[in-house]
Amino acid sequence: MIVVLSGGVGAARLLRAFEGVMNRDEITAIVNVGDDLTMHGLTICPDLDTITYTLAGLNNEELGWGLTGETWRVMDELDALGGEAWFRLGDRDLATHLYRTERFARGATKSDVAAELAHRHGVRERLLPVTNDPLATIFVTDQGDLSFQEYFVRHRHGIPVHSVRFAGAEQCSPAPGVLEALREADRIVIAPSNPLISIEPLLSVPGVREELRRRRRDVIAVSPIIAGAALKGPADRLLRELGHDVSCVGVARYYREVCATIVIDELDVDRRAEIEELGLSVRTTTTIMANREHARALATEVLA
């Protein structure tokens, strides 16, 4: 069994890549919930949904989020009514949030709903939210404390961030199965997700960082930073703003306590020695999952 510490898109792509090289039933994803929000009274779990949709082959490739073949009649109508329509939710996607919210009202947990939705979509990987308790990523900016989606969607991650915190982290407990999975995994993979806002919230859940430290030798990370830039999103900008080196070396330094091996891109091969000096082993391959062949090569390298 392998465990994959997961954000959204970067993790979903790697999880899908594993399908070609190992048994899907032997993969457990521990998924970030720091981006989760309530909108129109509905609970939305963007990273869990991205992973579920991607593994079901239903993800919208053009948008990079949501479902394929989506329509927007509800949002358009809401906009026309003067309602809050800045956070776009497609018509089909809304069904997911209606389903989840109704199940919560009947006492189900995030773990229950993640498993149910995965099952309905034929996803065989086990998807575990890192916690069932409230955990919210907050961006401290000149405009005050912003919620994840205010920063990400409303401001298009275009304003300076002074710091990031995870409200609720100290009080929350790992969801059922999370620590057990980390203890029992043959290998733990840190997906090429945003270190500061996708992986750090997972590490901030009591017990998770400690377990990773203990398993350090079996933990392998894939760098989301290639040739000094993120493929998508604000990982590079946030690393810079929060004082980290914007490179695979910066990522390695960030993870060095919890991870013994890092996979970096071929384009960064000249940084290998710097990372080795930090006490990590380095593997090099194509890490851009631009097509099936490259994704498979990366998955193979991670499992080697």
Q: Which stretches of 56-130 are DSSP H helices? A: 73-80, 91-105, 110-120
Q: Residue 68 Cβ, how far from ligand GDP at the closest point, in Å?
A: 16
Looking up tokens 């960030």 gives: 254
Q: Residue 61 Cβ, how far from ligand GDP at the closest point, in Å?
A: 12
If binding is defined by CB under 5 A, does position 195 make contact with Ca ion? Answer: no
Q: Residue 190 Cβ, how far from Ca ion at the closest point, in Å?
A: 15
Taking CB under 6 A as the criterion, the residue among 4, 28, 34, 47 binding ligand GDP is 47
Tokens in use for 181?
């999975």
Taking CB under 6 A as the criterion, the residue among 2, 13, 66, 190 binding ligand GDP is 13
Backbone angles phi, psi at 249, to 5 degrees: -70, -40
Stretch that binds Ca ion, among 44-52, 136-144, 203-211, 248-256 (CB under 5 A): 44-52
Taking CB under 5 A as the criterion, the residue among 12, 18, 27, 47 binding Ca ion is 47
Stretch that binds ligand GDP, among 95-103, 107-115, 154-162, 231-239 (CB under 6 A): 231-239
Is the CB of 169 or the CB of 230 nearer to ligand GDP? Answer: 230
If binding is defined by CB under 6 A, does position 292 make contact with ligand GDP? Answer: no
Looking up tokens 């080697």 gives: 304
Is 25 buried (19+), middle (13-18) or exposed (0-12) by CB count in 10 A? exposed
Q: Which residues of 207-246 are buried (b: 16+ CB within 10 A; e: fewer)?
A: ebeebbeebbebbbbbbbbbebebbebbbbbbbebeebbb
Residue 280 CA from chain centroid, whole number? 23
How many CB atoms lie under 10 A from the CB of residue 139? 25
Interacting residues with Ca ion between 20 and 39 (CB under 5 A): 35
Q: Residue 224 Cβ, how far from ligand GDP at the closest point, in Å?
A: 4
Taking CB under 6 A as the criterion, the residue among 89, 222, 252, 259 binding ligand GDP is 222
Element (H, E) at 210: helix 208-214
If binding is defined by CB under 5 A, does position 8 make contact with Ca ion? Answer: yes
Cα 85 to Cα 26, 119, 139, 142, 284, distances in angstroms: 39, 30, 22, 24, 43
- Contact positions vs ligand GDP (CB under 6 A): 7-11, 13, 47, 50, 191-194, 198, 222-224, 226, 230-233, 235, 287-289
Give the interface with Ca ion as residue ranges (CB under 5 A). 7-8, 35, 47
